[in-house]
Amino acid sequence: MLKFIRKHQNLICIVLGAMLALSLIPIFIISGYDAAAGDDYNYGAAGHQAFLATGSVFAAIKAAFGTVLSTWKSWQGTWFDCFVFCLHPEVFSDRAYVIVPYIFLLMHFVGFLLLSHHFLKVRWKFAGNYWLQIGLIYLLFEIQLVPSQKSAFFWWVGCVHYVMPMLMAILGIIWGDRFLMDHKAKDLALLFIVSALMGGATYPAALLLPMALFLLWLADFVIGGKRDKRNILLLIPFAALVAGLVVSMIAPGNAVRAASDIKDGADPANGILDTIVSSFTLSVKEAITVFIGEKGFILIALLLIIPLTVSMFKLVSDKSLAVSHNYVADRDYEAIKKVFSHPILFVVVMFCLNASVYAPRVYAGGIVSSGYVNFNFWTFFACAIGVEIYLIGWGMLVAEISLRRKLVTSKENSEGAHDNHVVMSILSWTGFACLILVIAFTSRHGVKKYTDYVCMEYYLSGQADDYKEQIQLQRRILNGEGTEAVVPEINNEQGPLMQMPIVSDPDNVDNYMARIFYGKEKVWAIPRDEWIEQYGEAYGVSQ
């Protein structure tokens, strides 16, 4: 089987790609029902009104700067995220919001495939399409298992606050590592740009980028023995990130939001030491209870990676033996063996990196949106795969290297030995398949929260069609003449979409956000049958 995997890398990529493409169909179906809601209205209000008044995109962008400043003073300091919040598609067209899932799915693909390519193909120099196999498996499972579909694909504000910064962090890590490897000015410049913007993005991403780059530099310095003075230039993008982060952290609005979170039950950490300890404990607890306990299929992903990785390291080992039989030292093999010679250190580093993104969450008191949990999930999953690959590499290239060479060079090629090998291979793969089935069966309770199930249930139940019809009517009403608008109460079965429906209280925050987006002075909702009785005829709506 390992020979088959090694020989048919392209076929495996095609199969994984086809499975991934099919798994996206439910998301594509629901994308047609996506619409702005709540915070989208709030952040996009000034830009939307400016665009309606002038028809100018630049006017909307100018208005977005005003919203960022106002938000910085009154609610939160993440200035770059807030700027992008203000420019969602519905600012410019009622029909444009349906492109939101496509935008953020593209970010998923670009970010995680580039990450896989850089570290597996460029940094660790694995041959063939192994990097693509791992990237596709990661995408297939993270898209299905992500804790919140809203903040992963469908809701502009939630996705901008967590999907976009994850992509930025990945790009920054890649450009920074490329600079450590080749010291090209282009990589340093790109890192500077993304770092400067990252200072105004969500805090876990702003922490992940410098932490990852520091650990990569430290690995080169301590393990690789590299002492290149040009590495000090990395302090320039780091300074840019710190400057942006300072602007974010000194925002007066942060105190307002912190007070609101405390009122809602937040329990901030007691200083730096408590933050560090609690970050480690929370990362372990959430990994066990949520990412594995509720998302058991993640174990299937990790199992599928094992034979692909064993096959790849077997290829590395066999290539080394072929070279050494010609009495030539295989320097590439010795180099990669050195890379995989520090398993405990690597596991500790990945554990610390994963825990570090919990620090802002712990420090603020634990009241976070579902998008933050997504960010934690993506980081944990990537670190888990990294640890798995590294441990397999250590086991095959370092711990068992002498044994493997003896086995390969031995002359035990008798027919009986061959038959025994075939039997053991069949038993091993049968056990492997049975283990996957057992995990799938014992983890079946979580399937109803997986992306495709949530999307298709929402679609097939008719709730998606109800919502689309109702949101279109609501837009007609809110885009009408007059300074006040009464709308029918809307279907609040949210499925994978974000909804913050207008309610009966005109002073409710969701009502406020809707009215400023549509330029109204007062907006409220009444029961649907009551609304149809009073206003239905004017809008061509009946029971």
Joined together, the tokens standing for residue 133 give 């196999």
Predicted confidence at residue 328, as pLDDT, reads 45
* Phi-psi domain of 526 (left: phi exceeds 0; alpha: psi -120 through 50; beta: other): beta
Predicted confidence at residue 223, as pLDDT, reads 80
Amino acid in position 132: L
CB 174 within 8 A of CB 212: no
Those residues with Cβ within 8 angstroms of residue 113's Cβ, 6 or more apart along the chain or in another chain:
132, 135, 139
> Phi and psi of 450, rounded to 5°?
-80, 155
CB 517 within 8 A of CB 157: no
Q: Which of 455, 522, 525 is nearest to 495 (CA)?
A: 455
Predicted confidence at residue 321, as pLDDT, reads 54
Joined together, the tokens standing for residue 303 give 């199992």
Q: Which of 353, 301, 357 is nearest to 135 (CA)?
A: 301
* β-pair partners for 522: 484
Predicted confidence at residue 406, as pLDDT, reads 45
Q: Which residues of the chain carry a pLDDT beneath 50?
A: 324-329, 402-412
> What is the chain's alpha carbon radius of gyration, rounded to the nearest angstrom?
27
Joined together, the tokens standing for residue 396 give 């095959």
Environment class of 114 (CB within 10 Å of its CB; exposed 0-12, middle 13-18, buried 19+): middle
Predicted confidence at residue 419, as pLDDT, reads 63
How far, CA to CA in Å, does 48 sit from each of 36, 43, 114, 182, 509?
A: 12, 9, 35, 45, 19
How far, CA to CA in Å, does 234 sit from each of 16, 165, 175, 184, 213?
A: 37, 20, 11, 12, 9
- State the first-to-last Cα distance of the chain, in angstroms, to the nearest integer: 62
